[in-house]
Structure 1
Amino acid sequence: MGNQTSAVRILAPVSFIFDFAAQQYGIFSKPNMLDIHNQNIGAFSPNPYFIPAFFAPQQLLQLFWLYKLTRPGATGTATDPERLSAERYAWIYTLGNFCIGTWMFFWNANQLEISNIFVTINTVSHVAYIATQLPPLNANSTLSITTHLVAKTFAGIGVLDLLHNTSAAYYRGVPPSTMVQALTGMGFIGAAALSDTIFGACLAYDLVALAVGQSGSWRKLLGAYALGTAAVIGARRWM
């Protein structure tokens, strides 16, 4: 157990650095990630500027969480179960960062079918973890709060990443069918009904990003879904 703890305290920051470096490559290379986005517009392509708007503060949150996780001999106010929870999640976090960092290279190479493999691994692993493995949040523990924030925001933006990459890879230029439109609403609003405020808010953000990135009646419907998702989150918050 001690060796595993030491390993993840090294691998988690390394994975952050790898992912951050890959994102810089994606921004400054030619073609860059925005160029590939513009070449492969699909029914689930968001407004591209919503991604860095989410990414930037989430990076700061990750840095704070990594500091709490790895600083020598420090436990803060966290109890042992909360620290163990953070260390267990750190393995999923590490996997996610390596997947998203690798995704960037295939995305910028316009090999979207391959990039979709990595984004799928990240999203499925994160959503599965927060749904089945993440213990309840302890509002009295900074480590517990930040673990929940990092895990759930990672999962939340992962949902958008998966929809975006899949539509760009396999359904470029294909409008959403009536069934897809209906399933989108049921999926997001249903997930919000089963989610806490953090993950639910991320789902609403995903829908806003999609609505701003689309046009016509599909844009209006996505906007309505965003309002519906937000309403469900608000209702659950005050129940």
Structure 2
Amino acid sequence: MGEIEGIYTIWLREMKRFLRYRSRIVTSIVTPLLWLIIFGTGLGASIRFGGIPGGYRAFIYPGIIGQTILFTSIFSGVSVIIDRQYGFLKEILVAPISRPSIVLGKALGISTASMIQTAILLLLSFLVGVIMTPACFLVAMILSLIISMGFGGLGLLIAAFTDSMEGFNLIMSFIVLPIFLLSGALFPITGLPSWLQGAVYMNPLTYGVDALRYTILHKSVFPLGISMILLTIFAIVMVFAASFIFNVKEQSLM
């Protein structure tokens, strides 16, 4: 019971931190909408993209949702650095709760924030001419949870190795953009050169975007079940890896 209460407390703190910064919420919604409206309309007008009602904007819509989940999940790992700098992390570490529970509580808080943003974007699907049914909404939210747990764990894993905000942001700049660009969010992943296709297939976000595209547009490269299994494995591995490294690093600092 103590572990569950500890996970809930850490989750609640992450949610209060997210909801306190309303500008962050607005920015996280406005930015993907700008991608959809400006990038989708501009590039969509210059290329012919058939086969999907709504054209290119509808095609990149699941990818932009994946981008939002990716950015929110990984960058939320900076909360560990902030807690460490202000001494709050030491208070958590001396509490009667295990390290995996601490990481799980933070990962769940990060995932909930990502799911809130995903829900808002899903409700705005009419802007790109996509009809959002309750079943599609539910499956997309489940996918959002799994994807954000994986990349939230990755963000926490990186934060465990980093002692400063500058170092964290530097590492993120080398990781986040390639993951997004190589996910198939902005272009079809079929017919690519073999060297580029290999990088795309090793990218976990590729399967997240493909699963979202199947759920929302009923178009995909991989079966939905395969994508969900791979995403779930990625999420479990990242959370456990973050827990292990977090335990080792923080014990050495205490």
**Coarse TM-score class (shorter-chain normalised):** 0.3 to 0.5
TM-score (norm 1): 0.35
